[in-house]
Amino acid sequence: MIRITVRLFSITVFLLGSYLAIGQTSADYNKQARTANEKGDNDGIINAATLSLNVALNGEAYWWRAIGYKNKKNYTLAISDATKAMSYYTNDNSSTGRLYELRANAYYELGDYDYAVDDMEKMRDNYGFSKNKTFLEKLVLGYVQLQEFDNAVSTYSDIIKLTTSYIELSDLYFKRALVKNKDLSYTIKEIMDDLDVSITKNRQNIEALYERGVMHLDNKRYALCKTDMLEVVRVLDGKAKNTNDTLMLASSHLVLGAIYYDNKNYDEAKASYVKTLKYNNKSGFAFWNLGRIRSEIDKDYEAATADYKKAITLLTTNTDRVNCYIDYYLHERRYLKFNKAMEVIDAAIIISPNDATLYWDKAYLYKLKNDKTEALRNYNKAFSIGLKDSTQRAGFYLERGQFKLSNNDPQGALLDIQNSIALRPGYNNYKALGDVFKIGMKQTELANGNYQKAMSYTISGTQKKDTSSNYAYAAAAMGDKVTAERFIKKMIIDASAKIGALADEYHNAACIYTTLGNFSKAFEYLELSLQAGYNSFEHMLHDADLEPLYKLPEYKNLLVKYKVPVPVY
């Protein structure tokens, strides 16, 4: 009897439990889902909503489960359940709008901006979200992702109409300006107008000041750019609140450095680049520009080299790295480190093997080394790749033609220089053509005709009088000693009134006297140029006009006397 009693009791408990389970309704489970949501229990939400749906399909359960899935970042299932829930609320605009919002957010998180924006537009147009600024700003972001910039601008205009706070308005005008800047249909004035209003509404809007300064820079309004950047620095220097402020401060100093450099204010430029690195020690552009100043102005070879090397490790695009390598290459050439220059240009070629100008630069180095075969091979390589425009091609033909003339190929030189003239006629290629006929072909009449043609490109001004040393070069090439010497005197008088010009004109006079065969005068002016501070040693040591002097003891004595660096090939 005891066993039977126990068994009957167990059956009773089981039946009671089953009865209680059967008694749970969808509404009960939906309440459990709500409670789980309040506790942040997403699994609880999903489980309760699923049980509710097992009892009976209903919109509230789909809605709760969509919320649970979205919170767990299962956006695909969230979208599916939100869509199913909508069919239960066709006559309830408030609920339908909220479900569109849930689904739009899920689409947004998946990166399905087309669907997200479609849902958000329905929310705006049909379900009462047209005056919800937070929602409208998110809609703008969707438009930007889809590159529908007109819609983004229009939506910002709607938000502006709903806003009264000057601080918020400043931010909105600034953001609208950024969107306008992405759309080519807006003028610079329309973008600048928004930035101006943004700054008027809030003078502390540093981002707007910075962007306006950048736009001034892009449009070559350097004084206005400088004013804005100095204001950014004034507001932020020592007061940066976050990483964005610090990087903006660094960038402002970088822009100021560029302006100072272009205006030849090298000390201020250098100070600005140093400040850039104080706030952003990973600015490849700051190291790059410091390298230029230390190479060209400070004459500090070691410091400049270190800056260029550091810049290349920090620059992020191949284009920037190659351009930095080119400046680095010119730096090594400036200090007559031609072996190092070759290493640098080879490193650039590894990054950009189809850049014709790099092979052109490499050919020049081989020409300096007197390696005729490799020089010509690289000249030809450059041309086989193709130079960008007619100006480059004209310059290339001219340089290769002069190289061929110096290596006893007057016919090859003639063809190249004629091609240069066809592309871009001017003084240099007509002068070079005269040299081909005079030196390579011994045809004096044709040579003089081209020298006269070259002279015509030097004449300028209303009185049609030449004022350049080029005229004197051409006159000397024709053997016109009187005209050449008259122009030498004039160009030196003119240079005396210009800071830093005299050394170059003394050098030109030395070249012209060498062409005239007056070597004693050539050495006199060559020494005057060195005394005046001439330091373009690469040119001096490889100037074709001075070549007759190179083997003379007076030339070697000058190099020693003025401590001209010894080239390293």
3-class secondary structure for 186-223?
A: CCHHHHHHHHHHHHHHCCCCHHHHHHHHHHHHHCCCHH
- In tens, the pLDDT along 141-177 reads 999 999 999 999 999 999 999 999 999 999 999 999 9
278: CB partners within 8 A, 6+ apart: 250
Under the banding of pLDDT at 50, 70 and 90, the label for residue 388 is confident
Please tell me the predicted confidence (pLDDT) of residue 498.
83
pLDDT tens for residues 401-414? 999 999 999 999 99
Per-residue DSSP letter, 555: H
Averaged confidence pLDDT in the chain: 92
| pLDDT at residue 186, as a whole number | 95
CA atoms 221, 223, 226, 231: torsion sign = negative
The secondary structure element, H or E, covering residue 465 is strand 465-466
Q: Which phi and psi (to 5°) does residue 460 adopt?
A: -150, 170
Report whether 255 contacts 214 (CB < 8 A).
yes
Please determine, for residue 289, whether its predicted confidence score (pLDDT) is greater than 70.
yes
Instruction: Give the residue from 326, 317, 331 showing the smallest Cα distance to 356.
Output: 326
The answer to whether residue 206 scores a pLDDT higher than 90 is: yes
What confidence score (pLDDT) does residue 389 get?
86
Classify residue 127 by its DSSP letter.
S
Residue 463 scores a pLDDT above 70: no
Burial class (CB in 10 A: 0-12, 13-18, 19+), 244: exposed
Q: What would the two tokens of residue 230 be?
A: 């100095």
Structure tokens at 117: 């924006």
Instruction: For 233-279, write each residue's pLDDT tens digit.
Output: 999 988 888 999 999 999 999 999 999 999 999 999 999 999 999 99
pLDDT digits (tens, 9 = 90+) for 59-118: 999 999 999 999 999 999 999 999 999 999 999 999 999 999 999 999 999 999 999 999
Q: What is the pLDDT of residue 280?
A: 96
User: Which pLDDT does position 433 carry in this prediction?
Assistant: 97
Given a cut of 80, whether residue 470 has pLDDT beyond it is yes
Q: How many helices (H) and strands (E) does the chain have?
A: 31, 2
Q: What is the chain's alpha carbon radius of gyration, rounded to the nearest angstrom?
A: 38
Average confidence (pLDDT) over 324-351: 97
Is the separation of the CB atoms in 416 and 400 below 8 Å? yes
pLDDT at residue 460, rounded to an integer: 59
From CA 87, how far away is CA 310, in angstroms rounded? 62
Res 467: pLDDT: 56
Q: What percent of the chain has pLDDT over 70?
A: 95
Nearest to 429 by CA among 438, 420, 441: 420
Average pLDDT of span 456-477: 75
In the predicted model, is pLDDT for residue 9 greater than 80? no
Judge whether 402 and 544 are in contact, CB under 8 Å.
yes
pLDDT confidence of 387, banded at 50, 70, 90? Answer: confident
Q: Report which of 458, 520, 519 is spatially closest to residue 491, judged by C-alpha positions.
A: 458
Asked if pLDDT for residue 492 goes beyond 80, the answer is yes
Length of the chain: 569
What's 548's DSSP letter?
Answer: G
* Res. 337: pLDDT tops 50: yes
Kindly indicate the confidence band of residue 506, based on its pLDDT and cuts at 50, 70 and 90: very high
In single-letter form, the type of residue at position 47 comes to N
Give the pLDDT confidence score for residue 459 in this predicted structure: 72
pLDDT value at 3 more than 50: no
Degrees to nearest 5, angle at CA 241 with 238 and 247: 80
Q: Which two tokens stand for residue 130?
A: 């047209």
Q: How far apart are CA 120 and CA 100, in angstroms?
A: 7
- The position carrying tokens 């083997």 is 551
The per-residue pLDDT for 22 is 53
How is the chain split among helix, strand and coil, in percent rounded to 5? 80, 0, 20
User: Mean of the pLDDT values across residues 113-138?
Assistant: 95
In 3D space, the residue among 166, 209, 168, 219 whose CA is nearest the CA of residue 189 turns out to be 219
Confidence of residue 466 (pLDDT cuts 50, 70, 90): low
Q: Which of 5-14, 288-297, 302-311 has the lowest mean pLDDT?
A: 5-14
The pTM for the full model equals: 0.78
Q: Could you tell me which of 334, 303, 301 has the C-alpha nearest to residue 567?
A: 334
3-state secondary structure of 518: coil
Q: Is the model's pLDDT at 13 over the cut of 70?
A: no
